[in-house]
Structure 1
Amino acid sequence: MPKITRYEAEVQLERPDGSRVTYRGDGVGPADETGAQVLKGAEKAALAEEPGARVVSSRARRG
């Protein structure tokens, strides 16, 4: 069985009107997932909630 670990992520978006919003979340995933993979998933999820927005900053870490 693959090892799992906890991740925390934060993504700041800028909406088309110029306002900003920050999404934070945590979850579990494969222990061998890279930071880039975690960020890609977090950014994709945040952008799905804010159509037309763009990523201003993002970060992820193992929890």
Structure 2
Amino acid sequence: MRTPIQGCHGVYIKKWVDYSSKYGLGYLLSDGTTGIYFNDATKMVLDSTGRYFYIDQAKLIM
């Protein structure tokens, strides 16, 4: 039996989709967070409370 890693919250990837040839990579985490990593290195995240974040190469926009 494995022992849990100290400090690990147990969040894991439930689903993912790879459209990297055109757009990027999308994912759904076990805590309800959804995210997209676009090919231009920008990112969008929607957390489980409904807050969204847009992250470009230079800064975080909330």
Higher strand share: 1
Please state which band the TM-score falls in when normalised by the shorter chain. under 0.3
TM-score, with structure 2 as normaliser: 0.27
User: Bigger radius of gyration, 1 or 2?
Assistant: 2
Higher helix share: 1
TM-score, with structure 1 as normaliser: 0.27
Greater relative contact order (Cα < 8 A, sep 6+): 1
